[in-house]
Amino acid sequence: MSKKGFNLLRPQIEPPTVWTKVYDWAVGSARIVVILVELVVVLAFAIRIVIDVQSNNLNEEIKTKESIVLVFQSSELRYLNIQQRTSAYRDNWESTPVFSGIFAEVSSYLPPGGKELTVLINPSSGVFVSGTAPVAEIGVMEENFKNSNTFSRATLDSIEGEGAVIDAAFSLSADIAIQENREFQQIEQIVSKLN
């Protein structure tokens, strides 16, 4: 049997050194800090991957939409030109009742059996009518233009047909004899916008 003794004196513990305190802190609290920092780094890496994927998707979408815009860019210019011309024609039609009266009179003179008729009304150059129609109706139309007070110097510029041809191609021109210069100046300004 061995003897066991006991000591009633307080054991003396050496005071901890700086290195001991650092070691205890590294083994205890620093572990938690290191783990938290590693979690933050992993989370930042995951967020970076998600942002890169979204950025690549947005870049592809931008490239697709840029190509679509480039395709429609020339069409846009064409549509803007059409819109400008349409608004100029609308302004022309609404602001010049003289045109509508002249057009109504010209329409009443057109041959009923005419095909592919073209009517051009320009205040500076007058009225021009072309198309194909029976020869007898072309003669009636020419007489109506010559007897009208609205038109002067009505001439049948050309008529093409041989012998007993029923339909003939024709072109007729006449000057506008109305003396309302102010309205025609407005018309000329609008026509110059169209060209």
The predicted-structure confidence for 176-192, as pLDDT tens digits, reads as follows: 876 454 455 555 655 56
pLDDT value at position 182?
43
pLDDT in tens, 104-137: 888 888 888 888 888 888 877 788 998 888 888 8
Q: What distances in angstroms separate CA 127 from CA 75, 90, 122, one per listed residue?
A: 33, 20, 6
* Distant-in-sequence, close-in-space partners of 188: CB < 8 Å, separation ≥ 6: 123, 124
* 38, 66, 123, 165, 168 from 160: Cα distances, Å: 96, 55, 27, 9, 5
Write down the pLDDT at residue 61: 95
Tell me which residue has tokens 């860019």. Answer: 73
Q: What is the C-alpha radius of gyration for the chain, rounded to an integer number of angstroms? A: 48
User: Contact, 138 vs 170, CB < 8 A?
Assistant: yes
Termini Cα distance of the chain: 129
Q: What is the DSSP letter of 178?
A: -
